[in-house]
């Protein structure tokens, strides 16, 4: 166990944006919410999954919906408290720890609000290892663990508990409620026992995010290249460098969907990279060539500062670098690809690991 204070939040939020692959919600808002909670209630104890008692109830808490909506309609923090309380009431049990839902944006920091206010430990783990747009896209799904019962709460004090026959149905029902709640809602889901967290979740998430963020900030003193620092710490590949020349983005059915086009410079000069996204970046193509696809990660960074850029902040004229990062082996498995592979998102291509694609492209 170790203690997280507001000083570590800068690193954690920055790292979360890298692994968020464009999604997961605004990390700045999440950082401010977590910092306010820690300032009011004190620091948060971060524990490893191995420190959990096997029968301890652990509740992951985060946000679902379209990240662009949050630009104008900010959460207050009480919504996160409300969803955890609603789920506890339904279960007739009390959480002994909370956890981030995913390694992305605001969803990496919302759980800090509940942990600080309730005096609960935060588990150093998450459900995804990156950010994905739908609720069934969590590693416990691969083990047959139910996402429901789950609770939703909005900024107007509405709340609801959902049960469903499958995790896919949980996504459909919760998404419909989220749209009616204003296209974002806080969510508490996948209530698990300690033994399940140890076996089924991605361990070390918060520590990994902190390490990535610290690497970026530490390389901005003029003695290092922040982009190269991110590539090294994530085990990623430099895939593209250029300027954003077009962004097509729309909010529909509780998601942000669209494409961004990046004209190349240097070795990529004369070509254009197109990245498709549904909250998160899912596929990158140059002409007919696919360079990387889900479940591997696509991250867009500011070419000078290494600052990660989310789908809602993409703008014409940004000079950027695109990194491709290998995904967790569980998502690359046959079972994982059925849930988050290219075909699920409507791309008629096979999944090929990014390291194989890039090696073939340079052969």
| Confidence grade of residue 127 (pLDDT, cut at 50, 70, 90) | very high
pLDDT band at residue 129, thresholds of 50, 70 and 90?
very high
From the centroid of its chain, how far is CA 20? 4
Residues 246, 164, single domain; the answer is: no
pLDDT category of residue 105 using cuts at 50, 70 and 90: confident
Output the CA torsion sign for 115, 119, 120, 124: positive
On whether residue 218 sits in a domain, the answer given is no
The burial of 259, by beta-carbon neighbours within 10 Å (0-12 exposed, 13-18 middle, 19 or more buried), is given as middle
* pLDDT at position 358 over 80: no
| Residue 67 pLDDT | 63
**Least confident among 9-13, 122-126, 234-238, 249-253:** 249-253
Q: What's 326's DSSP letter?
A: P
Which secondary structure element, helix H or strand E, spans residue 83, and what is its range?
A: helix 78-91
Distance between CA atoms of residues 8 and 208, nearest Å? 12
Same domain, 181 and 326: no
Residue 68 confidence class, pLDDT cut points 50, 70, 90:
low
The verdict on residue 303 lying in a domain is yes
Residue 182: the pLDDT is 87
pLDDT the model gives residue 88: 98
Residues 344 and 263 in one domain: yes
Judgement on whether residues 16 and 87 belong to the same structural domain of the protein: yes
Q: Percentage of the chain surpassing pLDDT 90? A: 76
- Whether 216 is in a domain gets the answer no
Average pLDDT over the chain reads 92
209-247 residue pLDDT tens: 999 999 888 877 666 788 998 999 999 999 999 999 999
12 and 76 fall within a common domain: yes
Q: How confident is the model at residue 65 (pLDDT cuts 50, 70, 90)?
A: confident
CA distance 151 to 258: 29
Calpha distance 243→240 (Å, rounded): 10
Asked if residue 305 belongs to a domain, the reply is yes
| 236 inside domain | yes
Are residues 193 and 274 both part of a single domain?
no
Query: What are 353's two structure tokens?
Result: 């690991």
Here the CATH number for the domain that contains residue 177 is 3.40.1610.10
Q: Are residues 55 and 140 in the same domain?
A: yes
The residue out of 171, 205, 239 marking a domain boundary is 205
pLDDT of residue 311: 86
- Do 51 and 159 fall into the same domain? yes
213 falls within a domain: no
Residue 91 has pLDDT above 70, yes or no: yes
38 shares its domain with 186: yes
HEC string of 146-175 equals: CCCCEEEECCCCCEEEECCCCHHHHHHHHH
Q: Longest C-alpha distance within the chain, in Å?
A: 61
Respond yes or no on whether the N-terminal peptide bond of residue 22 is cis (omega within 30° of 0).
no
Residues ≥6 apart with Cβ < 8 Å to 5: 38, 43
Are residue 282 and residue 333 in the same domain, yes or no?
A: yes
Contact in structure between 290 and 283 (CB atoms under 8 Å): yes
pLDDT in tens, 248-307: 988 776 677 899 999 999 999 999 999 999 889 999 999 999 999 999 999 999 998 888
Question: Which CATH number covers residue 248?
Answer: 2.40.390.10
Q: How confident is the model at residue 183 (pLDDT cuts 50, 70, 90)?
A: confident
Asked if residue 267 and residue 194 are part of one domain, the reply reads: no
Q: What are phi and psi of 240, to 5 degrees?
A: -165, 155
Same domain, 17 and 67: yes
For the chain, the domain total comes to: 2
Q: What is the pLDDT of residue 274?
A: 97
Q: How far apart are CA 212 and CA 214, in angstroms?
A: 6
pLDDT of residue 66: 66
What's the domain range around 135? 2-205
What pLDDT is stored for residue 36 in this prediction?
94
In a domain, 210, yes or no: no
Q: Name the pLDDT band for 94 (thresholds 50, 70, 90).
A: very high
Q: Which pLDDT does position 211 carry in this prediction? A: 94
| Pairwise pLDDT comparison (184 vs 128), residue with the higher score | 128
Q: Report the alpha-carbon distance of residue 38 to residue 361 in Å, rounded.
A: 48
- DSSP code at position 201: S
Has residue 72 got a pLDDT over 90? Answer: no
What pLDDT does residue 250 have? 84
3-state secondary structure of 49: helix
Task: Give the pLDDT of residue 154.
Answer: 93
Give kind and range of the element (H or E) at residue 60. Answer: strand 57-65
Average pLDDT over residues 100-124: 94
pLDDT at 247: 94
Coil, strand or helix: which one is 245? strand
- Residue 212 placed within a domain: no
């Amino acid at each position: 166990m170790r203690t997280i204070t507001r000083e570590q939040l800068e690193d954690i939020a920055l790292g979360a944006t890298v692994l968020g692959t464009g999604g997961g919600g605004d990390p700045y808002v999440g950082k401010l919410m977590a910092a306010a909670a820690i300032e009011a209630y004190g620091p948060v104890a971060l524990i490893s999954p191995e420190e959990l008692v096997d029968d301890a109830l652990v509740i992951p808490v985060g946000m679902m919906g379209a990240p662009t909506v949050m630009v104008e309609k900010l959460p207050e923090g009480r919504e996160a408290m409300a969803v955890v309380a609603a789920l506890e009431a339904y279960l007739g049990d009390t959480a002994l720890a909370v956890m981030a839902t995913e390694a992305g944006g605001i969803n990496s920091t919302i759980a800090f609000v509940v942990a600080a206010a309730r005096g609960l430990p935060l588990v150093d783990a998450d459900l995804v290892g990156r950010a994905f747009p739908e609720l069934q896209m969590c590693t416990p799904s691969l083990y047959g663990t139910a996402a429901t019962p789950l609770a939703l709460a909005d900024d107007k004090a509405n709340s609801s508990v959902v049960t469903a026959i499958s995790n896919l149905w949980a996504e459909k029902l919760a998404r419909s409620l989220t749209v009616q709640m204003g296209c974002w809602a806080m969510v508490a889901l996948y209530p698990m026992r300690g033994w399940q967290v140890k076996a089924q979740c991605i361990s070390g998430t918060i520590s990994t995010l902190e390490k990535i963020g610290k690497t970026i900030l530490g390389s901005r003193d003029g003695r290092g290249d922040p982009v190269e620092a991110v590539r090294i710490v994530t085990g990623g590949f430099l895939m593209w460098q250029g300027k954003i020349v077009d962004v097509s983005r729309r909010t529909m059915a509780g998601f942000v969907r669209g494409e961004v086009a990046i004209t190349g410079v240097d070795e990529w000069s004369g070509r254009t990279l197109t990245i498709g996204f549904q909250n998160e970046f899912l596929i990158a193509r140059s002409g007919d060539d696919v360079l990387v696809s889900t479940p591997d990660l696509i991250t867009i960074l500011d070419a000078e500062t290494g600052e990660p850029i989310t789908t809602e902040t993409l703008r014409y004229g940004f000079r950027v670098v695109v990194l491709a990062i290998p995904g967790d082996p569980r998502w690359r498995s046959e079972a994982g690809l059925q849930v988050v592979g290219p075909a699920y998102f409507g791309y008629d291509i096979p999944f090929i690991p990014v390291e194989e694609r890039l090696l073939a492209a340079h052969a």
